[in-house]
Amino acid sequence: MIIKLENQEKKDINTEPYFTTVVNIMTAYKEGKHIVIAEAKFFEEIRNNNNFDERIRNAAMRAENEQRQYHQLLKGVNAYIHVELGNLSSNYKKNEDNGIEKIVVSCEFFKDSSSIQKINLLCEDLSDADLYLKMGDFYKHNINLSTINILFDHIGGGGDNTYKSFSKITENTRFCLCLLDSDKKHPSGKQGGTSLKFKDKKIPFNGKYIVINAHEAECLIPNEIIELLILDRNLNHYNYDFHTRLDYLREICQSNSLVKLYFDHKEGLTVNNIKKFDKSGDTPFWENAVKGATGLKRRKCAINFHCDCKESASKKNQQECYIILGFGSKLLEDSSAKINQMPTPKIKHMLKEPLLTEWMNIGREIFSWGCAPSKVARTS
């Protein structure tokens, strides 16, 4: 993350807590964990001060040489950390006029080296994190900053325990970005239980949570990636029937592109869930989307949007109760692996609205909280 370091009150950096804070921040830069922005005079003061060891002085020299590029980064992020050495105790967030979130952190806070480690990326599942990191990579390529690294400690939240994990991380003076599924079944429906646990809670300055604008992370997988999984002979759990499922999904997405963001890619969409999900919102979203999918093969119950078919013990009649069957529980893991094998420019051609906007929005957050030096500063 970007740390903007200032000494407007001209504190003596040879004294505590200023000395240790400067050492910790510059060490984090040297180790490639955070980007540091400061005035040239401040870096010069460090370089010419033999109280700092050679590694810190060299890191200050390299940071000074990279300032032009680092200042440009401020145009591409949503948030950055601001440390004024004269601030010994105040920690808070404020929005600047340009909409960027300024996270004001006290000098005393960064005196503890544990607080200056890599940012924690907390998701409901580690496969979510793999996909979101690719979005960060996609974003930085699109703003021509591909040489900047993105670095996090990845932590799986474990569903319902995500808020507890978030609280534990931030209480232990670590920074944390948390991304959550909305679990919404309808564009105007209610959020699910995991994200609701964050609602109305006081979020500390060193943490941020984001509820994605989609039912779940799987909704952000391009259909072209799903097609590649179906065609992959090494993935035996996707059989020929999955082609039909994908064709049906594409057909309904042509009727309403927002279907892609709210379709349950793992479980699918049953006939009886259409009216149930529409009741959770304020429009007949699903009913209209299915009706508009003129190429969709619909059985009688799917035409009436009511199914009273009884499943046999072998579930042979289950197909009758579905508009579209899902792609299974391994979709996200398999898709993340497939996407990470692909060059970023190729993915760009797969992203159409509304996925392109969501990838850019999430990617900007990932880049803002995880941007790191392109090369680790090393001692000579």
pLDDT at 313 over 80: no
Who contacts 228 (Cβ-Cβ below 8 Å, separation ≥6)? Answer: 338
Strands 101-105 and 153-156 turn out to be: unpaired
Task: Count Cβ neighbours within 10 Å for each residue of 284-294 and write b for 16 or more, e otherwise.
Answer: bbbeebbeebe
8 and 113 together in one domain: yes
Position 191 scores a pLDDT of 86
Q: Work out the average pLDDT over 139-159.
A: 88
Burial category of 300 from C-beta neighbours within 10 Å (exposed 0-12, middle 13-18, buried 19 and up): exposed
State the total domains in the chain.
3
In a domain, 38, yes or no: yes
Q: What is the pLDDT of residues 11-61, one digit of tens each?
A: 999 999 999 999 999 999 999 999 999 999 999 999 999 999 999 999 999
Q: Which of 80, 97, 117 is the last residue of a domain?
A: 117
Residue 223 maps to a domain: no
As a whole number of angstroms, the distance between CA 158 and CA 248 comes to: 32
- Give the pLDDT score at 375: 65
- pLDDT digits 0-9 by tens, 81-115: 999 999 999 999 999 888 899 999 999 999 988 88
Do 51 and 20 contact (CB within 8 A), yes or no? no
pLDDT surpasses 90 at 323? no
* 241-255 helix and 223-231 helix, angle to the nearest 10 degrees: 170
Is 95 a domain residue? yes
Distance CA 109, CA 91 (A): 8
- Distances in Å between the Cα of 225 and the Cα atoms of 44, 117, 137, 338, 372 are 50, 34, 17, 7, 29
Q: Are residues 184 and 212 in the same domain?
A: yes
pLDDT of residue 380: 41
Strands annotated E in 278-364? 322-325
Three-state secondary-structure class, residue 317: coil
Lowest mean pLDDT among 15-24, 188-197, 329-338, 345-354: 188-197
The pLDDT of residue 365 is above 50:
yes
Among candidate residues 161, 192, 258, the one with its CA nearest the CA of residue 219: 258
pLDDT at 158 over 80: no
Please state, in angstroms and rounded to a whole number, the distance separating the CA atoms of residues 148 and 34.
Answer: 11
**Tokens encoding 123:** 């998701």
Cβ contacts of 68 within 8 Å, gap of 6 or more: none
If asked whether residues 198 and 275 sit together in one domain, one would say: no
pLDDT at 200: 83
Please report whether residue 231 resides in a domain.
no
Which residue from 106, 101, 109, 121 is spatially nearest to 176, judged by alpha carbons? Answer: 121
**Which domain range does residue 74 map to?**
2-117
Which residues, including other chains, have CB under 8 Å from residue 304's CB and lie 6 or more apart? none
Mean pLDDT of 359-365: 97
Whether 266 maps to a domain, the answer reads yes
Please, what is the average pLDDT of the chain? 90
Based on its alpha-carbon atoms, the radius of gyration of the chain, rounded to whole angstroms, reads 25
In the three-class reduction of DSSP (H, G, I as helix; E, B as strand; rest coil), residue 67 is classed as helix
pLDDT at position 345 over 50: yes
Task: Give the single-character DSSP code of 301.
Answer: H
The 10s digit of each residue's pLDDT in 208-240 is 999 999 999 999 999 999 999 999 888 888 888
Answer yes or no: do 294 and 352 share one domain.
no
Long-range contacts of 244-247 (CB under 8 A, 24+ apart): 245/324, 245/325, 245/326, 245/327, 246/327
Q: Are residues 8 and 103 in the same domain?
A: yes
Predicted pLDDT at 157: 67
- One-letter amino acid at 261 equals L
Query: 376 is written with which tokens?
Result: 């680790």
Closest CA to 33 of 110, 122, 134, 125: 110
Is it the case that residue 377 has pLDDT exceeding 60?
no
Residue with tokens 């899902």: 326
Residue-level pLDDT at 99: 86
Task: Decide which of 117, 149, 164 is a domain's last residue.
Answer: 117
**276 and 200 within one domain:** no
pLDDT band for position 336 (cuts 50, 70, 90) = very high
Domain annotation covers residue 233: no
- Rounded to whole angstroms, the Cα distance separating 264 from 336 reads 17
Q: Which residue has the tokens 């909280």?
A: 369
Would 295 be classed as within a structural domain?
yes
The letter for the amino acid at 267 is E
Residues 24 and 104 grouped into a single domain: yes
- Domain match, 108 and 7 both: yes
Q: Is 348 in the same domain as 303?
A: no
Give me the residues paired with residue 210 across strands. 179
According to the model, what pLDDT value does residue 225 have?
A: 96
Same domain, 212 and 347: yes
Sorting pLDDT into bands at 50, 70 and 90, what band is 378?
very low
The DSSP result for 70-120, as a single string, is HHHHGGG-SEEEEEETT-SS--EEEE-TTSPEEEEE-TTGGGSGGGGSPPE
pLDDT in tens, 177-189: 999 999 999 998 8
Considering the domain architecture, whether residues 110 and 124 belong to the same structural domain is answered as no
Task: Tell whether the model's pLDDT for residue 293 goes beyond 70.
Answer: yes
pLDDT value at residue 310: 57
Does some domain include residue 359? yes
Nearest to 128 by CA among 179, 167, 170: 179
Nearest residue to 367 via CA among 100, 69, 148:
148
Domain boundary residue, one of 83, 117, 151:
117
269 and 193 in one domain? no
Which of 129, 198, 191 has its CA nearest to residue 161?
Answer: 198
pTM for the model stands at 0.92
pLDDT greater than 50 at residue 379: no
Which pLDDT does position 311 carry in this prediction? 54
